[in-house]
Structure 1
Amino acid sequence: MMKILSLRNHISVMLLVGAVIITGCSSSNLDAPDAERPIHQFSLKEGKRLFGQLCLPCHGESGQGDGIYWASAIGITPADLTKFTPTESGRIFKTVKYGSEVQGKSNLCPPWKNNLSDEDIEDIVNHVLTLNKKNKTNLAEIVRIKS
C-alpha cells in the first residue's frame, strides 16, 4: 500500500513539473520578435538579402517607398520604412508576417507567414530598422557589443 501511494505521489509531482515546464515555455505573445534577442551581423545581412528579394521592388533600396513596382497608378504609395524606430519592431514584424492589411492598409503587401520563418521575419525587421539613419548608430553599437 505504501509503495502505491509513493508511486502516485511521484507521478503527481512529475505531472505537475511537466505542466509547469510546458506552460513556462509557452509565450503569450508569439507574433512579436524577442526584444532580448541580440542582433548579430548575420541577422542584418540575411535581413538585407530577404528585403532585397521580397520588399525592395515596392519599398526601394532606401526603404522610402520608391521601388520600381510601387503602386502609384492606383494611388497607393508603399510605406516609408525609414521612419520606423526600434519601439515599432513588433508592428513591422506583424506587417511582414500577416501583410499590410492587418495594419488597416491595402492588401498589396502580402503576408509572408507561409514562406518565412519567424527568424527570417526578425532578420527583415532588423534590416528595416537600419534604414532609419537615426537608428544606425544604436544598431551598430548593439551588433558590436553582442556579436
Structure 2
Amino acid sequence: MQRRIAVMALGGAALLWSCGCSVKPPGDLETRTVQWTKHHVTVGDRDVHNPVPDTSMNVDAGKQVFGYYCVVCHGRDGQNTGVPFAASLSPPIPSLASREVQSYSDGQLKWIIEHGIAPSGMPAAKGTLSDDEMWQAVDYIRHLPPAGSLGEPQVYSGNTDNESGR
C-alpha cells in the first residue's frame, strides 16, 4: 500500500513537472497584470521624489556608482550590452532604458536599488550605498547613453580594471 502511494506521488510529481516544461511566454493580459502589480503593489515609494538635483554633476556621480556596482549585470550603458547571461536568467535582466523600467517613478527606482528584487538576483544596496549615491544612480538611469555606445563591461573583455575608476 505504501509503495503504491509512493509510486502515485512520484508519478504525480513527474506529471506536474512535465507540464511546466512547455510553458508559453505570458500573454498581453498577464504581462500588463504583472507590470501593474509591480508598479502599484510590490515596489514601494511610488510618490517619493528624488531630493538630489538632476544636474550633470549628479548624473556623472551616478555613472561612477553604476560603473562600480551595476555594470556586471546591466552593462556599462544600462542596456545589458556585452553581458553574456542577461537574457538567459529567469527573469531576464531588463534594459534600464526600457519603457517598463523608465515608467517607474524615481522613488520606485531608488526603492529597487535599496531593497533589491528577490528572487531575480538584483541585490539590495542598503548598507552598501548611501542614500545620495542611490539617488545619483537614479539620475544616471534617467540619462542612459545609447545602447552599445560604451562597449562591454571590462570584466567580460579580460580587463580587470574597475569600470568607475574607484
TM-score bracket, shorter-length normalisation? 0.5 to 0.7
Pairwise mapping of residues 53-132 of structure 1 onto structure 2 (< 5 A)? 53-68=68-83, 70-83=85-98, 84-85=101-102, 88-101=105-118, 106-131=119-144
Q: Is contact 1:33-1:93 (8 Å) kept?
A: no
Rg bigger for which structure? 1
Q: State the distance in 1 between where 2:46 and 2:111 align.
A: 6
Letter in 2 for 1:47: G
Hey, what's the Cα distance between the residues in 1 that align with 2:124 and 2:136?
Answer: 16
Contact 1:32 1:93 in 2 (8 A): no
The CA RMSD over aligned residues, in Å, is: 2.9
**2:59 counterpart (44, 47, 50):** 44
Secondary structure of the residue aligned to 2:112 is: helix
Q: Which amino acid aligns with 1:124?
A: A
SS of residue matched to 1:48: helix
User: What SS class does the counterpart of residue 81 from structure 1 fall into?
Assistant: coil
Counterpart CA distance in 1 for 2:132 and 2:51 is 14
* TM-score between both structures, scaled by the size of structure 2: 0.50
Mapped to 1, the partners of 2:64 and 2:93 lie a distance apart of 19
Structure 1: runs of 5 or more not aligned: 1-28, 134-147
The DSSP-based 3-state class of the residue aligned with 1:114 is coil
CA 1:118–1:69 in 2, change beyond 3 Å: closer, same or farther?
Answer: farther
Task: Find the counterpart in structure 1 of residue 17 from structure 2.
Answer: none
Residues of 2 paired with 1:116 and 1:69: CA distance? 26
CA drift at 1:89: 1.4
Aligned to 1:138: none
Q: 1:93 Cα deviation (Å)?
A: 0.6
Structure 1 132/49 Cα, relative in aligned 2: closer, same or farther at 3 Å?
Answer: closer
The answer for the alignment partner of 1:140 in structure 2 is none
